[in-house]
Amino acid sequence: MAQSITEESVRAALTDRLKASHVEVQDMSGGCGQAFTSLIVSPEFVGKNSLKRHRLVNAALKDEIAQIHAWSAKCQTPEEYEKEKAATGGNDGPPLDGTAGGEVTGVSQ
């Protein structure tokens, strides 16, 4: 049986596998571990376009992504993150597009 996926397990995997300096993960499925959104800040993204960044993330989380229903990621370099944090007053976070109050609607637990 597959190990359950949690915000903490995804955060730990991204931090370790992508040498991420900052990771925010939010379970948008109400705690059942089927839909996640994330903000990932890693020096591994420097010089890579959005597609290549997402491919790195998907490769790093290959086993985890195979077990969940929905996954979205915002990938930034440390410089991009600091610049955006300064511009937004530190209120940036994972993308919540398509959610109601940060949870995917229509998902049963």
Question: pLDDT tens for residues 33-82?
Answer: 889 999 999 999 999 999 999 999 999 999 999 999 999 999 999 999 99
**Using 50, 70 and 90 to split pLDDT, how confident is the model at 87?**
confident
The pLDDT of residue 107 is above 70 = no
Give the DSSP letter string of the chain.
Answer: -PPPP-HHHHHHHHHHHTT-SEEEEEETTTTSSSEEEEEEE-GGGTT--HHHHHHHHHHHTHHHHTT-SEEEEEEE-HHHHHHHHHHHTT---S--TT-BTTB-TT---
| Residue 1 within a domain | no
| Residue 100 within a domain | no
| Residue 94 within a domain | no
The pLDDT value given to residue 108: 47
Residue-number span of the structural domain to which 41 is assigned: 7-88
Task: Assign residue 46 the CATH number of its domain.
Answer: 3.30.300.90
